[in-house]
Chains A and B, each alone.
Chain A
Amino acid sequence: MNKSVVFGALTVAGLAAGAAAAGTLDDVKARGKLNCGVSTGLVGFAAPDASGEWKGFDVAVCRAVAAAVLDDPSAVEFVPTTGKTRFTALASGEIDMLARNTTWTFSRDVDLKFEFVGVNYYDGQGFMIPKELGVSSAKELDGATVCIQTGTTTELNLADFFRANNISYEPVPIETNAEAQQQYLAGACDVYTTDASGLAATRATFENPGDHIVLPEIVSKEPLGPLVRHGDNEWGDIVRWTLNALISAEELGVTSTNVAGLGEKANPETPEINRLLGTEGNLGEMLGLDADWAKRAIAVEGNYGEIFEKNIGESTPIGLARGLNGQWKNGGLLYSPPFR
């Protein structure tokens, strides 16, 4: 009886398949929607709110790309992925890009055949521990029980760190951040380790955040960034330069409030802003988009700095400082190649 459901869907899927042979950009345009892989729920980075609307730092990147390509920041299908399913989802074409705080590593880039288009958050793995244990350095953690969120590079870094310092620990693998938090607060593990941003976000939700400290050691480099499939350079360029546009916009002082005004006509004093916003040159055309692509991307949630402040910045419950994620001029690592 219900065969029809599948057959009907199969027919639809079959038709969709016919159009799918071309490049990702044409796919996205034909579909009218961007399929963007995000995490299943990490507050500040990607999580649906009470009305089902996805919010967060990674989500903002997806929306910026959708605005640049499709002229509609809401034309995004957010596909929740786990650590296990994210790479297959991208490799099989189920999603067009993955923005799921994924660490850029050699083997993911080379062996798994993905292309990291940049870094949207420089992170590092840290440890959180109750203050009352009186630990001030991760090297004092000999014999501790450590909660780890599985499916990330965290497990490997942790094993390396403890082995290098010749101290022992008991790992407790946990699937979701919420469950790790439950274990940690109940005292089932002494330490919770994940990316420092995640630790800050988790600590912010505690009843008494002051009772817990994040240890000073950052045991790994975790450059998190959006990635696309290997081989489709045209699409990779679009995602890469959308991200760069957000970063450059902050550097150049283009914000969500003034982008419309700045983009109206070319100002001879600011050639780079002109090129970025398409009032001068033909950068958009080179990407296969129109001239206003960056203007639209920036107009969604503003430049990199605005997105940061709105989702994970110091005014939010997560309260992250810019730190490494500041502009290069301010001592951070954000350094967009020039728009030229």
Chain B
Amino acid sequence: MSDTHAQSVAFVRETQIPPSDPPSSQTGAVKWMHENLFSSWFYGLLTLLSLYVIYVVLAGFLPWLFNGVWQASSIRECREVLDGATGGCFAVLTERWNQLLFGIAYPQDSYWRPLLAFVLLFIAAAPVLFAMLPRQMLLFTAIYPFLAFWLIWGGTILWPLLALAGFIVGYVVFGRLVKQSFAYGFFGAIVAAMITWWIGGFIVPAIAPEQTLLSAVPSRDMGGFMLNMILGTVCVSLSLPIGIVLALGRQSSMPIIKWICVVYIEFIRGVPLITLLFVASVVLAYFFPPGSNLDLVLRVIIMITMFSSAYIAEVIRGGLAALPRGQYEAADSLGLDYPQAMRLIVLPQALKISIPGIVNVAVGLFKDTTLVSVISMFDLVGAIRGPILAATEWNGVYWELWLFAALLFFIVCYGISQYSQWLERQLATDHR
């Protein structure tokens, strides 16, 4: 039998054949293209169309970018160098970069000050943005606003120190009195801080030295992209506490307080920022005591802060509403009073939910700071529309400047929104 078997079966394979490669249409680039680009005739058409669009855009853009002139003293010189060829006149950026970034009037030898403040901003913001960093860094965050003010505005360091002292005194008083009642602590702290500032207001001018370490820069000399950054960060950080208060007020059971907040929020959200900036530039001055004179930057900060606090209040209200009812009831059943319940139970959770929304508002607000150019402030857009395009040398250079401005905003806003998405993933503690 074995013989026959051996006869009838000529060959028995003892090992498995190694798996062969899939057919070339099912692998590598071909498969990828088939699946992702040409899966049906419609998608194929779309792909070709997209390729065409990309080609047209790049064919116009790349020669313009790579053939650009970076060294020239005027647009006429650019034209001479190019001699009819396509190319950007980027020389305007090399000549006027300082006006675009720092404004026309900020002293040139002090550019390191806002730059340093900008770098420190990351260190100060880091512990707030990334929960894994050591909490001690928050101390620097607390000092940062005063430090940044001193760096950018200069002058005597005593003023920011006084402001800081007011907050410290307020905090100490709060710590003492809060054991009795939150209201005592809160109002006590405000009164104590006010008294500190009031007294300091007499002392500081008396002892302030004539010569200061950093020369003072008036705020109307701020400009360029720096002004956008200042307005953005200052107004967002100021509007956070105001927004929390407004959101709580709107959720409040006390009708008068609730209605004050509702009217305020709906009013601000109902009008465009530009009308509020008109108020800052042409109307607000009439509402201050006769003879007083707040400078324009400060008035604009007030109006933008009012603007963004209404939007942030709505975001936080969404967070408060999204919190399960049980959290409020649990806090009540523990016997916590309102400030305790809010501080310890409700707000930490509600704020966590609202962070992506707050970041969105912050990005939107930062973009909207460009509107200050409409009221004759030389921010990035204002500097382009005003002095740079008006200059005889550069009149006619449009795309170079606008794309530069767009690029700066894109980098910052895209960075923030990427962070926001990362944070959303981190905070997604529920399992879906």
- Residues of A at under 8 Å CB distance from B? 1-17, 20-21, 40-43, 47-52, 77-82, 84-85, 88-89, 91-94, 175-179, 181-182, 185, 204-205, 207, 317
- B residues less than 8 Å from A93 (CB atoms): 285, 291, 293
The smallest C-beta distance from B92 to any residue of chain A, in angstroms, reads: 10
Do A48 and B282 have beta carbons less than 8 Å apart? Answer: no
Do B282 and A85 have beta carbons less than 8 Å apart? Answer: yes
The answer, among B146, B205, B298, B398, for a CB contact under 8 Å with A182, is B398
Do B201 and A92 have beta carbons less than 8 Å apart? Answer: no
Q: Is B84 an interface residue (CB 8 A)?
A: no
Do B159 and A12 have beta carbons less than 8 Å apart? Answer: yes
> Quick one: given A21-B291, A47-B387, are A2 and B201 in contact (CB under 8 Å)?
no
The answer, among B95, B237, B238, B375, for a CB contact under 8 Å with A82, is B375
Which residues of B from 138 to 192 have beta carbons under 8 Å from A? 141-142, 144-146, 149, 159-160, 162-164, 166-167
The answer, among B166, B220, B375, B391, for a CB contact under 8 Å with A77, is B220
Q: Is B40 an interface residue (CB 8 A)?
A: no
The answer, among B76, B98, B286, B298, for a CB contact under 8 Å with A92, is B286
> Quick one: given A16-B293, A52-B105, are A5 and B149 in contact (CB under 8 Å)?
yes
Q: Is B301 an interface residue (CB 8 A)?
A: yes
A47 to B389 Cα, complex, angstroms: 10
The smallest C-beta distance from A280 to any residue of chain B, in angstroms, reads: 38
B398 to A, closest residue via Cβ: A182
Nearest 8 pairs between A and B by C-beta?
A41-B390, A92-B285, A4-B163, A17-B292, A178-B389, A88-B282, A40-B386, A52-B104
CB-based A-B contact count at 8 angstroms: 164
Q: How many residues of B contact A (CB 8 A)?
A: 66
B152 to A, closest residue via Cβ: A5
- Residues of B at under 8 Å CB distance from A? 76, 79, 95-96, 98-99, 103-106, 108, 141-142, 144-146, 149, 159-160, 162-164, 166-167, 197, 201, 205, 218-220, 233-234, 237-238, 278, 281-283, 285-286, 289, 291-296, 298, 301-302, 374-378, 382, 385-387, 389-392, 395-396, 398
A204 to B392 Cα, complex, angstroms: 9
- B residues less than 8 Å from A3 (CB atoms): 145, 163, 167, 238
The smallest C-beta distance from B89 to any residue of chain A, in angstroms, reads: 13
- B residues less than 8 Å from A84 (CB atoms): 278, 281-282, 375
A175 to B, closest residue via Cβ: B385
- B residues less than 8 Å from A79 (CB atoms): 220, 296
> Quick one: given A6-B301, A8-B159, are A47 and B291 in contact (CB under 8 Å)?
no
